[in-house]
């Protein structure tokens, strides 16, 4: 009486990303969600300052990358994790220049143009980056959703696509529906710039996240594991222009130099729901979504470094939903299973009706194996339709879905030029749905 499905989806299976940062020039074009910080170094008169030391500090992990301005006073630091950064520029004979609060978004370029003032290294000029910096390095039109929005705003089904209404030009195509958490019962519901739900391509941490047999996402990260969602809408680079409509980056969190953990549970059930005015009772519905996240530095016990290089982040979410359902269908009666019919049945060998007695037609015995299969897969009738017809079965079993999602992520910084990131996603789902035409 159920259709049972068990799916194991490896959205990203043991994905290893090796980011090589070339300090003199940007890395070759690739599908990556990493960020870039670029800029120039000048003195107060506007003259270029070559050979200045530039320190790029990840404020989340404390990891520092050092480079120098080239002969034109320019510098580029690419393949940076999505985080908030501080850039410090030093040069003998000039006061230190520091810019804090530089927020990198997925696949973005932040520009830091440092103006050094004459003075000693002991003096410093500190500039704080604005929260809404103007994107001057590329002509693209894009929008961002912060992880705090995904984690704290109410979401029907804990699916980040419900936040589409917060993005200019985006529409949630199922605003009154609880979106799924991944697996068989989930579909994409974001329409960007009127292109429909099939007009976008999705990436998780820069990796293709689309079902090759359809237009749905393979893996839907739970909101507490999301660092940021960024939507490229117009004028973006050709490397992201696979479908010609829009590109959606989902960046998951990474570990930091401090431990952070949380647990959550969201409950909905019949006792908490209101009765529809026209319904005699509240339709049975039970939903539990629970899980947690844990992240921080990774080290051997008793050997923790003051400047950690390895960080981990783990996330788990389980969603259990049982929803009331009423399906109607038609099944073989006990008399039909015994070969007795009230309508003429022709013998396929002769083309003539089988013999009848008082309007009752009896066919030869049904094959025992076929009858056993029929009895095992279809129940007997349990309903008589007031309107007549062949409908004789009501399937009132609920639709049941159980989804478990796991994520493990490890980052290691080998030095200024090499960063290794290993990531594993797993999505398992058990799905049982009652059928109407064939209740089995």
* Percent share of the chain, pLDDT over 70: 84
**What is the pLDDT at residue 26?**
35
Average pLDDT, the chain: 81
Express each pLDDT in 170-211 by its tens digit. Answer: 888 888 777 888 777 677 888 887 777 777 888 898 888 887
Backbone φ, ψ for residue 376 (5° rounding): -75, -25
pLDDT at 23 over 90: no
CATH code at 32-128: 2.60.40.1120
CB atoms closer than 10 angstroms to residue 383? 14
308 within 8 A of 61, measured Cβ to Cβ: yes
Return the ∠ at Cα 50 (arms to 46 and 54), rounded to 5°: 100
When pLDDT is cut at 50, 70 and 90, the band that residue 440 belongs to is: very low
Token pair for 330: 């038609």
In order of 105, 128, 435, the CA distances from 133 in angstroms are: 11, 11, 54
**Bridge partners of 125?**
97
The DSSP secondary structure of 397-435, one letter per residue, reads PPEEEEEEEEEEEEEEE-SSSEEEEEEEEEEEEEEEE--
**Whole-model pTM?**
0.74
pLDDT of residue 143: 79
Alpha-carbon gap, residue 89 to 75, rounded angstroms: 11
The model's pLDDT over 30-83, given as tens digits with 9 standing for 90+, comes to 367 888 999 999 999 999 999 999 999 999 888 899 999 999 999 999 889 989
Note the residue count of the chain: 440
How far is Cα of residue 285 from the mean position of the Cα atoms in its chain? 25
- Give the whole-angstrom CA distance, residue 211 versus residue 219: 9
- Does domain 3-10+141-325+400-433 sit in CATH 3.30.479.30? no
What would the two tokens of residue 9 be?
A: 């989806």
pLDDT at 260: 93
Quickly count helices (H) and strands (E) in the chain.
Answer: 3, 27
81-127 residue pLDDT tens: 989 999 999 998 899 999 999 988 888 889 999 999 887 656 677 77
- The first and second tokens of residue 54, run together, are 């530039």
The ranges assigned to domains in the chain are 3-10+141-325+400-433, 32-128, 332-377
Q: What is the DSSP letter of 240?
A: G
Segments in 200-296 forming alpha helices (H): none
Assign 3-class secondary structure to 57-119.
EECCCCCEEEEECCCCCEEEEEEECCCEEEEEEECCCECEEEEEEEECCCCCEEEEEEEECEC
Q: Are domains 3-10+141-325+400-433 and 32-128 of this chain identical in fold?
A: no
Beta-bridge partner residues of 265: 290
Answer whether residue 338 shows pLDDT above 50: yes
């Amino acid at each position: 009486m159920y259709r049972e499905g068990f799916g194991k989806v490896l959205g990203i299976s043991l994905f290893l990303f090796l980011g090589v940062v070339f300090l003199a020039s940007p890395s070759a074009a690739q599908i990556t969600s990493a960020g870039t910080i670029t800029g120039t170094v000048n003195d107060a008169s506007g003259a270029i300052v070559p050979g200045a030391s530039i320190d790029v500090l990840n404020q989340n992990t404390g990891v520092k990358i050092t480079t120098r301005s080239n002969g034109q006073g320019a510098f580029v630091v690419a393949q940076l994790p999505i985080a908030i950064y501080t850039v410090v520029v030093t040069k003998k004979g000039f006061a230190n220049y520091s810019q804090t609060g530089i927020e990198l978004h997925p696949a973005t370029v932040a520009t830091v143009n440092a103006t050094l003032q004459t003075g000693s290294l002991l003096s410093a000029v500190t500039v704080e980056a604005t929260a809404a910096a103007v994107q001057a390095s590329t002509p693209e039109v894009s929008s961002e959703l912060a992880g705090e929005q995904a984690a704290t705003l109410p979401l029907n089904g804990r699916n980040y696509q419900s936040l589409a209404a917060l993005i200019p030009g985006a529409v949630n195509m199922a605003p009154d529906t609880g979106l799924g958490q991944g697996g068989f019962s989930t579909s994409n519901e974001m329409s960007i710039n009127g292109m429909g739900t099939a007009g976008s391509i999705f990436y998780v941490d820069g990796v293709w996240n689309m079902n090759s047999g359809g237009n749905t996402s393979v893996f839907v990260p739970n909101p507490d594991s999301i660092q940021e969602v960024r939507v490229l809408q117009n004028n973006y680079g050709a490397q992201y222009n696979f479908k010609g409509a829009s590109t959606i980056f989902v960046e998951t969190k990474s570990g930091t130099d401090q431990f952070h953990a949380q647990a959550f549970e969201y409950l909905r059930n019949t006792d908490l729901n209101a009765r529809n005015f026209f319904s005699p009772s509240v339709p049975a519905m039970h939903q539990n979504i629970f899980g947690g996240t844990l992240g921080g530095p990774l080290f051997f016990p008793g050997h923790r470094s003051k400047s950690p290089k390895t960080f981990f982040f783990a996330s788990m979410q389980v969603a259990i939903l049982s929803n009331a359902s009423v399906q109607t269908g038609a099944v073989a009666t006990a008399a039909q299973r015994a070969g007795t019919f009230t309508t003429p049945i022709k013998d396929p060998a002769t083309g003539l009706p089988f013999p009848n007695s008082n309007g009752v037609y009896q066919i030869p015995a049904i094959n025992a194996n076929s009858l056993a299969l029929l009895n095992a897969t279809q129940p007997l009738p349990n309903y008589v339709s007031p309107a007549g017809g062949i409908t004789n079965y009501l399937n009132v079993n609920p639709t049941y879905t159980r989804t478990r999602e796991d994520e493990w992520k490890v980052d290691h910084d080998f030095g200024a030029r090499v960063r290794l990131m290993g990531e594993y996603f797993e999505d398992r789902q058990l799905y049982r749905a009652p059928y109407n035409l064939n209740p089995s």
